[in-house]
Amino acid sequence: MELKKDSNAVSIDMLLIVHSEKRHAAQGAHSDRQADPGAPPQRRGGLQGVGNRIRRWQKLERNDLHGNLAEKQHAQQTQVITSYDNQGTQLTVEVHPQDAMPQLLKKFSLAKRLQGDKNGNTRARQPGGKDAHAYPWDRSSLKSMPLDLRQFEKLDTYASQVTVKSGLDALVSDLLQEAHSDLERVRAIWIWICHHIEYDIEAAQEKDRQAFKPTTILQTQKTNCDGYAGLFERMCRIAGVQCMTVPGYSKGFGYQPGQSFSGEFDHAWNAVFLEGRWHLVDSTWGSGLVDSTTSKFTFLYNEFYFLTHPALFIEDHFPDNKNWQLLKPPQSLRQFENNMYHKSEFYNKGMLSAHPQTSIIKTVNGKVTVTIESCTPTLFMFMLNGKQEHGLLSLRKNGMKLDVYPPTVGTHKLQIFAKGNSEIYSSVLEYTLKCHYADIDVRLPAELHQPVGPSWFSEQMGITKPSHPEPVIYTSDGRCSVSFGVEEGISVLASLHGDDGPVTEETQRRYVFQLQREKRTELKVQLPHAGKFALKIFVKKRQEPGNYVFVFNYLLCCTNSKVNWPMFPESFGNWGQDNELLEPLSGVLPANHNVPFKLKLHGVAKALVKGQDTWPLTLNREGYWEGSCNTAGCQEVYVMVLENANHNFYSYILKYKVNAQ
């Protein structure tokens, strides 16, 4: 039938009017079908938990054509119940006193719409081909429509500061003062909810809890996921924008990689109709997060879940009705369970892809390799079972490579973090590693920090053109020399770290001797024994106070069991960066021997070697100070310099120990 008023027509699929003496029969026939608009027939027990609460919310909504009608009407007055099937067919049942004027005949008009947009559409268009986006993600945008977030800066500031003065209608009216399009109306509502409504953890854990009413949410400023979705839908309707609540499964709080989903749905979100297409939002996850250790909610706005690209939204949202995926082709539940879960921060921080693309990885010969591609250079770190150990993470210009060597057979948890443009590392990926063979020969030093090897970051910190661009250096005789360019005004510091043997906190710098050759720094390294070591490199600006900052490290590997190099001589503050030591390089001298010395020293007037006696060094034509000393009767030998010929004060620059006789 069709009703006409003021020359404007409203289409009704079917109008069923039941007199009051039939009330119980009518309710019994239809109360179990209070389904979500657009939801499919029930499966796996129907909409349980979250889903049932969504129905209760909608029943409250249908009883209130204007937002407040249900609270104003007497219990014996007209009740309106509306239901939908998965094809979008709308069934409206009105229960009213006998001989009373049906409310539907009074209420249908463009000004008083049941469930429609500002154009008077009485039902939301179901998603179709024009709403679908290609899967997999084409990397074009994180959003489902072109957006310049800068256009929302003024609106976001305004909406986040709006306060509740009376009811929901007044709140929406206040929010829309600065909104001039459907997109801006939705944005204002989204921003307000995300900044004012707190996730109610206790309510989320009570499966039989009654649905939140809008008035309750505004009073407590707390709700659970279906409350967020229901409030968002209600506010959009008041604003004249089509919106739907979508139930389904989610990879949210408590999710474990590889888990399966069945039974009741655990989440709800929204689809909103803008510019001729459906788009997806999740105001629950846009508002903040729950700490897994304390189970407390923290407001932390997340832009990612506003008009998210459907090919990204499907990674952690699986709707009960596949049409609400807004994808072509749609994904199956099995695909949803098996697909790699990239957290929202993965995309927020500019990541594009990761390999492997499955959340559970089996080791191959005791090793797992993970690579990430990013839009821009990004800093990463990882944790294996909560510790930054047993892995080699090297940075690439647009991403990173991580080799992980689990120390034991069994299951391990691998977390990967990225820094992006912020100062905080955020978790972006999580893998479960299945290790069937642990290679004990690949034990890495505990002090091997991340990243390993030079990269864009070391270049940014002033270290350029390294002699060894790869992160691992192999040496057969236990010695190596590493060099790199150093920008003007940058000081470099290096130290050697191993898990056992003579390398201690006091001696870790004594196995590295630093030389300056024009604009390049050379690091001579001698290993005390065979094994694996971390050569850590730090920098600081000379003119600025503060400590040296870690930049990167090399992994040094030696399998020669005969290696047993001593430490280099100890250097003091007056050992200039431009100085060069040719001999002796060993920090321990033989007893009762004549030992030759050859050094290049800049800006000194005199130089000598002091042991039991004093032996002067002479300056040759090549600019080297040369000489020798006898170690008889000595325990220590020093190299000393006089910087000003007019002074008599000598400074210590090098110290050697002498072997016991």
Which residues are part of the catalytic machinery?
Answer: 225, 267, 282
**Which pair of tokens denotes residue 107?**
């209420």
CB of 268 closer than 8 Å to CB of 249:
no
What is 296-313 written as a DSSP string?
-EEE---GGGEEE-HHHH
AA identity, residue 345: E
The rounded distance, in Å, linking the Cα atoms of 174 and 178 is 8
The rounded distance, in Å, linking the Cα atoms of 2 and 13 is 9
CA distances from 50 to 228, 254, 281, 285 (A): 12, 16, 17, 16
The rounded distance, in Å, linking the Cα atoms of 93 and 84 is 12
**Which pair of tokens denotes residue 247?**
């139930």
The rounded distance, in Å, linking the Cα atoms of 408 and 412 is 9
Of the candidates 345, 321, 361, 480, the one whose C-alpha atom is nearest the C-alpha of residue 419 is 345
The rounded distance, in Å, linking the Cα atoms of 616 and 605 is 12
Nearest 5 degrees, angle CA 58-CA 61-CA 63?
115
Of the candidates 410, 359, 404, 363, the one whose C-alpha atom is nearest the C-alpha of residue 383 is 404
Of the candidates 609, 606, 620, the one whose C-alpha atom is nearest the C-alpha of residue 648 is 606
Token pair 């029930």 in the structure block, residue: 42
Q: What are phi and psi of 484, to 5 degrees?
A: -165, 160
The rounded distance, in Å, linking the Cα atoms of 36 and 51 is 8
AA identity, residue 186: V
Q: Determine the length of the chain.
A: 661
Longest dimension (CA), the chain: 125
The rounded distance, in Å, linking the Cα atoms of 363 and 432 is 11
Of the candidates 299, 247, 343, 340, the one whose C-alpha atom is nearest the C-alpha of residue 44 is 247
Residues 6 or more apart whose Cβ sits within 8 Å of residue 406:
363, 366, 368, 384, 390, 412, 433, 435, 438
DSSP state of 249: E
> Going along 405-445, which residue ranges are E strands?
410-418, 426-435
* 374 three-state secondary structure: strand
Residues 6 or more apart whose Cβ sits within 8 Å of residue 254:
292
**Which pair of tokens denotes residue 240?**
């004249």
CB of 49 closer than 8 Å to CB of 265:
yes
CA distances from 250 to 265, 295, 314, 323, 357 (A): 8, 18, 9, 16, 18
The rounded distance, in Å, linking the Cα atoms of 467 and 479 is 15
For residue 278, the cross-strand partners are 273
